[in-house]
Amino acid sequence: MNILYDEKRKLFHLQTPNTSYILGIHGLGWLTTLYYGPKLHLKEENLLVVRDRAFSPYADLGDKTYSPDTLPLELGSVGGGDFRVPSVELTQADGSSVTEFFYKCHKIVQGKPALDGQPAVYTQSEDEAMTLIVTLEDAQAGARAELYYTVFRDFDAICRRAVFINTGKQELKLERALSCCFDLPTDQYDFVQLSGAWARERHVHRTPLRPGSQLVESVRGTSSHQQSPFIALAAKNADEKQGRVYGAALIYSGNFVAQAEVSQFSTTRVVMGINPNGFSWQLDKNASFETPEAVLVCSAQGFGGMSRCFNKLIRTRLCRGKYRDGGRPVLLNSWEGCYFNFTADTIVRIGRDAAKLGIELLVMDDGWFGKRDDDHTSLGDWTPYPKKLPRGLKGLADELNAEGIAFGLWLEPEMVSPDSDLNRAHPDWALQVPGRVGVEGRNQLVLDYTRADVRDYIVSTVNGILASANIAYVKWDMNRHLTHACSALLSAVRQGETFHRFVLGVYDVMERITSANPEVLFEGCSGGGGRFDGGILYYMPQIWCSDDSDAIERLYIQHGTSLVYPQSAISAHVSAVPNHQVQRVTPLATRGAVAFTGAFGYELNVGLLPQEKQKTVAEQVQWYKDNRDFLASADYYRLRSPFGSNASAWMFLAEDKSRALVQFVRKLNVPNEPLDRLLLDGLAPDAQYRVAESGEVWYGDALMELGLPVCLPDGDFTAQTWTLTRVDE
Ligand code: DGJ
């Protein structure tokens, strides 16, 4: 790790263990992207190619080759000759939105400066990172942009963000304030995105870059089920093991855009940040605006290399708290087992049955509060429903604890039902446009988290609930997207700030509640994986990955999610068959194998299973307990993609390569099927590994080059597991 500044050449060389990011200062002070990729040695070479081009305006009258239209730029601005997608747009008092930002100064500091009230990658000691802060200025507008670049000692990642400051005498309005912008010299990449819908989140899509813009975005107020705040640009030859892949992930839970634009000269601009759609920010004199953080990873080892870098960085330097490092308790969630139809006695009975099989935590899901028998009422009235919980939360928690199982609770703190005491008392606490009727989603409204009074109320209510009983876990749900995003307390010129202020409000509430309850395990959720992003993982180390709990559907969802997020963050449960979302019947062993891939649990009434199935559950629980610390810290290798194939396979490998778990799931049975061998990855080639299931000892190279023979049980949706231990030491 290093950041070098060559004063003579006006060039910054940012270095991670295996990558270089090189910036230059050119002409009038443009900050240029000279290179991003595998690590380089530099001598005296010219890294910038410029030409005088027709229809490309030049600001430096002495040198027509320097055009904002063709320079690779680290800050794209509006109206001054850069016609590609900008990363900042600023309206000034005279109505103009033309800006031209030029280099003013820079500093290089040890460590990584923190963000104010926003989630971000952190360091545990100053020697883990170095940060370059380049200040650009538009003197006429009275505006500065500080661009932050952090490089890491242990990760091939670069964290980027921007701070925009009003240094002048006029008020400014930010219409666009993106976290990062850079230009790559070619368009020979595929655009990779994680897209889908409720119950089929984060499916992988890979398409060749084409001239013009391609983007993913959310305007739903959350990062969303539909798109994910991540894109990758992958070399045409890139696969899981090799080829260059650039990944960009935004640590943010609200409206975002991630965009690649292929220019007329086949260069590619990448920008990422808060979606300008629905965003504006009033920048008073001396005020500043801090963007969320984007994390860039460049890997020469294909998607696998990129993912392992993201996975470990997020697991160890974005997630926090007591549960960051180890395996998580095995839990049983009541939702699919009883939906709204339960009482305390039901919950205790399920808990008792679960405890007998070794399950450690019983989560009572939606329906325990107010007068909630269905989803039409009571969000916001966070007091136990006397009809269901006559002995309150404490009574229930104590009874469960007496059965030998911990107690966890579902909450949806950002919402209010129109039919609730909270809404009747504070009808102005929901986001709304005065005079407009508004719309409901799942019969509910969104609380106005831009308001400090609303946030204070929720923080004290939730902290009160958590203090009222022995609650070991919280599932924090969020079941609708934002519409009518106006706040009663913001002035007219600031209404464009509502979406981002809402997200900042969510972070404020999450920070205050999670830090006041350090012993509680928090799990994020938004109708499944509708807010699966790095922002939430800063506060909660795991997220319910999808409301689709079918093992085969989960192959796709978990495969896509693993491109960025660590297995420890992916909450995955064994549910009943026929599956409630797709009616598919899969073997219990397969459901277990797929759920072992994440933070493991059950989503069914285990006491209703036949005895032999209960025995299998007990074995699964014990297996997970024995292996969870290994699984949580292992490197993850995708061996077969479920997209476009009949199988999916993956592998957990200990960091010291001493142990591995390999799993293979076939979708449909194939009559008289061809021989298949599974090629492993990442092993020490000259080490020997014992395969527990066969007793055979193989060299690592044979496992990776010849592969394990696949021999699945007969039938659809079956799974095979191999457990490898290094034996040559
Ligand atoms: C959506 C979640 O994803 C489900 O698991 C469940 O908690 C329901 N909400 C409850 O309303």
* CB-based burial, 164-201: b 16+ in 10 Å, e otherwise: bbbebeebbbbbbbbbbbbbbbebebbbbbbbbebbbb
pLDDT at 72 over 80: yes
* Nearest residue (CA) to ligand 1, atom 11: 366
* CA atoms in the 13 A half-sphere facing the CB of 570: 28
For residues 298 and 156, the answer to whether their CB atoms sit within 8 Å is yes
Instruction: Find the mean pLDDT for residues 495-516.
Output: 98
Q: Locate 410 and state its tokens.
A: 């579902």
pLDDT tens digits, residue range 292-347? 999 999 999 999 999 999 999 999 999 999 999 988 999 999 999 999 999 999 99
Distance from the CA of 411 to the center of ligand 1, in angstroms? Answer: 10
pLDDT at 66 over 70: yes
Atom number in ligand 1 closest to CA 339 = 10
Distance from the CA of 444 to the center of ligand 1, in angstroms? Answer: 14
Distance separating alpha carbons of residues 285 and 280, to the nearest angstrom: 16
Distance separating alpha carbons of residues 346 and 601, to the nearest angstrom: 19
pLDDT value of residue 151: 98
Q: Is 53 left (phi over 0), alpha (psi -120 to 50) or beta?
A: beta
Distance separating alpha carbons of residues 533 and 30, to the nearest angstrom: 33
* Nearest residue (CA) to ligand 1, atom 10: 366
pLDDT value of residue 326: 84
Which residues does the annotation mark as catalytic?
477, 547
pLDDT value of residue 729: 59
Distance from the CA of 606 to the center of ligand 1, in angstroms? Answer: 19
* Nearest residue (CA) to ligand 1, atom 6: 335
* Nearest residue (CA) to ligand 1, atom 2: 527
Which of 411, 525, 581 has the most ligand 1 atoms within 8 A of CB, as the residue to mutate? 525
Q: Which residue blocks in 113-255 are alpha helix, DSSP H?
A: none
pLDDT value of residue 44: 86
Q: How far is CA 87 from CA 148, 309, 361, 671, in A?
A: 14, 26, 46, 55
Atom number in ligand 1 closest to CA 547 = 3
Q: Which residue has the tokens 């599956």?
A: 579
Distance separating alpha carbons of residues 77 and 101, to the nearest angstrom: 7
**What's the chain's average pLDDT?**
97
Which of 333, 368, 369, 477 has the most ligand 1 atoms within 8 A of CB, as the residue to mutate? 477
Distance from the CA of 458 to the center of ligand 1, in angstroms? Answer: 20
Q: Which of 309, 337, 327 is nearest to 542 (CA)?
A: 327
Distance from the CA of 669 to the center of ligand 1, in angstroms? Answer: 33
Q: Which residues sit with their C-beta closer than 6 Å to ligand 1?
A: 335, 365-366, 410, 477, 479, 525, 527-528, 544, 547
Q: pLDDT grade, residue 63 (50/70/90)?
A: confident
* Nearest residue (CA) to ligand 1, atom 4: 527
pLDDT value of residue 541: 98
What residues contact 615, with CB distance under 8 A and at least 6 apart? none
pLDDT value of residue 61: 76
Q: Name the least confident of 7-11, 61-65, 398-402, 479-483.
A: 61-65
Atom number in ligand 1 closest to CA 365 = 7
Instruction: Find the mean pLDDT for residues 603-622.
Output: 98
Distance from the CA of 441 to the center of ligand 1, in angstroms? Answer: 14
pLDDT value of residue 565: 98
Q: Which residue has the tokens 């060389």?
A: 13
Atom number in ligand 1 closest to CA 333 = 5
* Nearest residue (CA) to ligand 1, atom 9: 527
Q: Which of 232, 230, 229, 226 is nearest to 201 (CA)?
A: 226
Q: Which residue has the tokens 């492993």?
A: 680
pLDDT at 608 over 80: yes
The Cα angle at residue 502 between residues 384 and 194, in degrees rounded to 5: 95
Q: What is the enclosing helix (H) or strand (E) of 705?
A: helix 700-705
